[in-house]
Chain A
Amino acid sequence: EDKVVQSPLSLVVHEGDTVTLNCSYEVTNFRSLLWYKQEKKAPTFLFMLTSSGIEKKSGRLSSILDKKELFSILNITATQTGDSAVYLCAVDDSGGSNYKLTFGKGTLLTVNP
């Protein structure tokens, strides 16, 4: 059974700290890995990763994929209270023409002032 496991499940930090969120996966037909940020509304897309070792960056957020060890990390530097959210990792494991996204349970990040 395909699965996506995120760790930690929750994390509390202070503003200015750097955090690393983990996502490991076991899927049959990996095509891409996606990170989303979910606050009160629909998840917001952050990154899509398809190749190992290539870091994607957007402001204070960055992410990298290791297809050999089957995991990805999401780094957030100089955290702010606005970074508080659930961060979701999803793997497209369709292998075929249609997408099939399997989501992890998410990491709840709380950034305190």
Chain B
Amino acid sequence: DTAVSQTPKYLVTQMGNDKSIKCEQNLGHDTMYWYKQDSKKFLKIMFSYNNKELIINETVPNRFSPKSPDKAHLNLHINSLELGDSAVYFCASSPEAGGTDTQYFGPGTRLTVL
């Protein structure tokens, strides 16, 4: 069974569009995350979220917003896409609210903005 899944796997879109990436985890974890991996393969955290608190990396533009319909899902909405948003986006989850334990990642979504 897939522990952390993301859809779509690939997303190609035009500048200015609004898009969403979905993430689901079936591990029963309390905390979920979104990471961005840039062209140099650096993995940078964007958000962490549990049922009590959303923590935002202050460098993330407010065009990016996480939405959590329930504990097992954390979707990423991106408005007014820009060329620099092209990257691979990873969703992850961990058991505890503190988050400093093992994080399990989804397979990633490669976003290409044209």
- Interface residue ranges, A against B (CB under 8 Å): 2, 34, 36, 41-45, 48, 88, 90, 94, 97-106
Pairwise interchain contact B104-A100, C-beta atoms closer than 8 A: yes
Number of B positions contacting A (CB below 8 A):
26
Chain A binder among B16-24, B51-59, B77-85: B51-59
Instruction: A41-B57, A98-B108, A101-B92 are known; give 9 further A-B pairs, CB within 8 A.
Output: A45-B45, A48-B41, A48-B42, A48-B43, A99-B92, A101-B102, A103-B99, A103-B100, A106-B100
Pairwise interchain contact A42-B57, C-beta atoms closer than 8 A: yes
Pairwise interchain contact B105-A99, C-beta atoms closer than 8 A: yes
- Interface residue ranges, B against A (CB under 8 Å): 4, 41-48, 55-59, 90, 92, 99-108
Report the nearest A residue to B4, measured CB to CB: A98
Do A99 and B57 form a contact, CB below 8 Å, given A45-B43, A45-B45?
A: no
Pairwise interchain contact A100-B107, C-beta atoms closer than 8 A: no
Pairwise interchain contact A44-B57, C-beta atoms closer than 8 A: yes
Contacting residues, chain B, for A103 (C-beta < 8 A): 99-103
Closest CB in chain B relative to A39 CB, distance in Å = 10
Contacting residues, chain A, for B56 (C-beta < 8 A): 41-42
Give bound CA distance, A44 to B90, whole Å: 16
Contacting residues, chain A, for B108 (C-beta < 8 A): 98
